[in-house]
Amino acid sequence: MVSERSLEVLQAIVRDYVASREPVGSKTIVERHAFGVSAATIRNDMAALEEEQLIVAPHTSSGRVPTDKGYRVFVDHLSEARPLTSAQRHAIETFLGTATDLDETLARTVRLLSQLTNQVALVQYPSMARARVQHIELVRLGDARLMSVLITDTARVEQRVLDVDVSLQDDVLAALRTVINGAVVGVLLQDASTILRALPEQVRPEWQALAGVVVASLVEQVGANRTDRLVLAGTANLAKSEQDFAGGIFPVLEAIEEQVTLLRLFGELQLDSAAVTASIGEENAEYGLNATSIVAGGYAASGGEVARLAVLGPTRMDYGSNMAAVRAVARYLSSLLGTP
């Protein structure tokens, strides 16, 4: 165990190193922070931190930098995430509040979060396990072209444009729309495909060819909504901090490209709609991301499921500000998408 002052020295080292990327020495700490003790006393505190493997000297006779364990202790002792400014909160409300559907909302979310944190931002689509069909729309675009639109109660909108071999008539589309909505509105997505596949045999013979094409599209749309998906933005931010990744940024880029790795990591994070957590450095070694930290939070969608959003970057990151940004965006997403 280290003393209370030693923990404060650790916090000073983390903040100074994050700000400067330079190892931090005792003289620098005395000059920048009001500890009211001598440099020799600070060196003793730093020795205690080094003995606990919370800081390390990257070079002989240099200052010290935090270890992964040091970052973990720092995060665990954050009394409160730094609050966002009123301008930042207003930007969240303005930028996200004007989105028209779930796809646009999540795309805007990652763009905004990457700008707030200068990290890679990720957001997970809400789980479709409890999502239900809210409405299906069929829109005629031409004599032989139509659009099928699937809307869920989690605000997900999936649409496809279809070319058909029959001449479309508005009254036929209206009747088919009525039959389909009557069969699947309110049904769980996981059950909708089975019901949809049986519909072509239940309509008038002259409609069956059209119904078969429409149903095949809707089955694909339902399947797309049941797949785990991530939206990302800010990958270019990795290049700005490439020197912070001991093994280079390629393992991180590979994990981003192979989203299954990030989905597995997300699945291991125990979150609710109010929590923010950090997974730091070696804690991510199982996923090949041992030089990377992830700050993640949960947001609640209208189906009641908690999905995840996060920022990803090097272990040398501003944890306080990033946690505040993730928490603020998650809370706003919950209020925007959650059940009133």
The whole-model pTM stands at 0.76
pLDDT computed for residue 97 by the predictor: 83
Residue 83 region, left (φ>0) first, then alpha (ψ -120 to 50), else beta?
beta
Do the beta carbons of residue 148 and residue 258 sit within 8 Å? no
Amino acid letter for position 48: A
pLDDT surpassing 90 at residue 82: no
With a pLDDT cut of 90, the percent of the chain lying above it is: 51
CATH number for the domain running over 133-225: 3.30.390.60
Instruction: List, for residues 96-150, the tens digit of each pLDDT value.
Output: 888 888 888 999 999 999 999 999 999 988 776 678 899 999 999 998 999 999 9
- The answer to whether domain 4-76 and domain 133-225 are alike in fold is no
CATH number for the domain running over 86-127+228-337: 3.30.450.40
Do the beta carbons of residue 115 and residue 329 sit within 8 Å? no
Q: How confident is the model at residue 93 (pLDDT cuts 50, 70, 90)?
A: confident
Rounded Cα distance, 85 and 100, in Å: 26
Rounded Cα distance, 120 and 34, in Å: 35
State both tokens at 141: 């675009």
Amino acid letter for position 247: G
Neighbours of 300 (CB within 10 A): 21
pLDDT computed for residue 302 by the predictor: 65
Instruction: List, for residues 13-71, the tens digit of each pLDDT value.
Output: 999 999 999 999 999 999 999 888 999 999 999 999 999 999 999 876 679 999 999 99
Instruction: List, for residues 160-206, the tens digit of each pLDDT value.
Output: 999 988 888 899 999 999 999 999 999 988 899 999 999 998 888 88
Rounded Cα distance, 144 and 163, in Å: 6
pLDDT surpassing 50 at residue 77: yes
pLDDT surpassing 60 at residue 73: yes
DSSP string, 267-317: HHS---TT-EEEEEGGGGGGGT-TTEEEEEEEEE-TTS-EEEEEEEEESSS
pLDDT computed for residue 340 by the predictor: 44
Instruction: List, for residues 228-282, the tens digit of each pLDDT value.
Output: 788 999 999 998 888 888 878 888 898 888 888 888 888 787 765 567 899 999 9
DSSP string, 114-168: HHHHSSEEEEEPPPSTT-BEEEEEEEEEETTEEEEEEEETTS-EEEEEEE-SS--
Q: What angle do CA 326, 330, 333 make, to 5 degrees?
A: 140
Rounded Cα distance, 295 and 304, in Å: 22
Regarding the domain delimited by 4-76, which CATH topology (the fold level of the hierarchy) does it fall under? Arc Repressor Mutant, subunit A (1.10.10)
The domain spans of the chain are 4-76, 86-127+228-337, 133-225
Closest CA to 338 of 108, 105, 29: 105
State both tokens at 54: 């919370």
Do the beta carbons of residue 106 and residue 301 sit within 8 Å? no
